[in-house]
Amino acid sequence: MYFLLLIISLLNFSYKGNLEIKDAWLRPAGKGMNTALYFKIVNTSDRADTLLSVSSSAAELVQMHETFKQGDMMGMRQVKAIAVDAKSVFEFKPGGFHIMVLNLKKDLKIGASAEFILHFKYAGSIRIKAKVKIPEDN
């Protein structure tokens, strides 16, 4: 029985290692303002996973959003979850999927950083630190 529990816990631990968060950054903004968080999820596993939510003590509210186009109009809408296929990279980027960070609790100036927790269906919670910067392509 103990051997089976050990194997299951090792499998769960190794699965977390198959999700890597890369290039996390967010735009500068002042206290009480909104900003956006961007990053890549690299899934080297044979198993798909789902990002269920993102949280942070840096803001009053954090939501997953996607940018969409309807006719000549662009807009944003909240999404409930993000599927991350096996052996794939999912990118949160300007003009696409992104994390809205609403009502900041303090100024986020260039060079500063903020911590976030990504909550996955299988991998559990992954803590990341995102650096505040201006995107290179501006």
pLDDT tens digits along 48-107: 999 999 999 999 999 999 998 888 888 889 999 999 999 999 999 999 999 999 999 999
* pLDDT, position 136: 74
Domains and CATH numbers, the chain: 2-132 (2.60.40.1890)
Between CA 54 and CA 100 the distance in angstroms is 10
Between CA 99 and CA 53 the distance in angstroms is 9
pTM of the model: 0.84
